[in-house]
Structure 1
């Protein structure tokens, strides 16, 4: 029986979120007049999708590694100058995954199965977003609040099953309040009826008390043949994202 250890990676140290927030907040009012005259860069509503890489911080960083995932959001203008907007985010991150080859009991090792365990985080957050100066380059800052769900699940599939599991179990699941903020910038790359912009930024989310599993707890459960015992504590992470934003109307 071969055991495949869980691998972890470390992302570069995050840039200073506070400084970018100040730039976006202070620059926004200077552009109010030009936006009121029709130069609003966000339209009335837009949507975005992006790829994400997360860096765990503090206690969560000591217990887990880098996460990868995708996200999307909708942005709605709240004033004619488009300085104040409402943003709603949905993201999915996977911060741990391991696959072990195990024999099917009673077959003498002739039939092999894949035991796959995955740890993920789904976050649903929303809040006000302030836009900076109008133009091809537009910085922004967002305050966010909502909730996240941390869960770990395992599934069994045949080694030649083309990823079609026939048995699944949720090993741990916990929903918790999430709050934080994001800073970033839009770079316009296409004009026309529905302008398209590159969206580059970073988001910080804090979770004060949550239960979750990491690679060590999953490994202990496998070696002792007992249910895993979740870690309980604070879980903070910074998510770096790159994607596109398109003005819908």
Structure 2
């Protein structure tokens, strides 16, 4: 078995194992655990929202071609049963895994006008699926199975030195969308018991994409050096996203 295959199976196995662990934990509570949850109030209320800061780690082939990404995300959680053991979760996240800036001269100015050529590579994911919560308490574990799609794109823009946040020309170098599936595991740590309880949300999410086109730093550099459009890489793109944020019960 190749080294890449080991890394892939490890990430997928971790998510599956965590899902099984939460199911076992819920079943192990039995009627007593369910009553404890009911008496303590539903862990997620009827619905809650969460916001995260995220760090992504590419895996397998995608990990050989790209580096870590940074971004943010959010989700909505709605309970499906009175004890909030079964819930429905909808996630959206935005990650940037490539960001490069080059100084170039405006043609015809003899180098007197300098511009910034900025190139960024991004991923936005929309996934949804069931989430199982473990026993209620200060520390509440959870596991989620997720499916949906992700959009990968790279764009370049030209900015002046004095208006770096206001580009006057932008081009999408490559874009593609692909099905995404995987899961997430994590834990809620309750920090507030007021009218709208607030919890710290700490976890990790694994997403797999079987066939997508994307650009990396090497392909962008080759295009720039050879003055030609970049050629996307096509293949599997898997990554784990580690996140830290808050979850608030809103109704």
Residue 193 of structure 2 corresponds to 191
Secondary structure of the residue aligned to 1:245 is strand
Residues 172-219 of structure 1 deviation map (CA, whole Å, 9 limit, x = unaligned): 000100000000000000011100000000000000000000000000
Alignment RMSD: 1.4
Residue 101 of structure 2 corresponds to 99
1:40-189 alignment runs, 5 A limit: 40-189=42-191
- C-alpha distance in 1 between matches for 2:164 and 2:115: 12
- C-alpha distance in 1 between matches for 2:170 and 2:225: 19
Deviation at 1:38, TM superposition (A): 5.1
Where structure 2 has 5 or more consecutive residues not aligned to the other structure, the ranges are 1-9
Secondary structure of the residue aligned to 1:204 is strand
Residue 25 of structure 2 corresponds to 27
Residues 32-89 of structure 1 deviation map (CA, whole Å, 9 limit, x = unaligned): 2322345321100000000000000000000000000000000000000110000000
- C-alpha distance in 2 between matches for 1:32 and 1:72: 28
Where structure 1 has 5 or more consecutive residues not aligned to the other structure, the ranges are 1-12
Residue 6 of structure 2 corresponds to none
Question: With structure 1 as the length reference, what TM-score do the two structures score?
Answer: 0.92
Contact 1:35–1:80 (CA<8 Å) still a contact in 2?
A: no
Question: With structure 2 as the length reference, what TM-score do the two structures score?
Answer: 0.91
Secondary structure of the residue aligned to 2:242 is strand
Deviation at 1:160, TM superposition (A): 1.4
Secondary structure of the residue aligned to 2:135 is coil
- C-alpha distance in 2 between matches for 1:201 and 1:62: 24
Higher helix share: 2
Residue 5 of structure 1 corresponds to none
Secondary structure of the residue aligned to 1:110 is coil
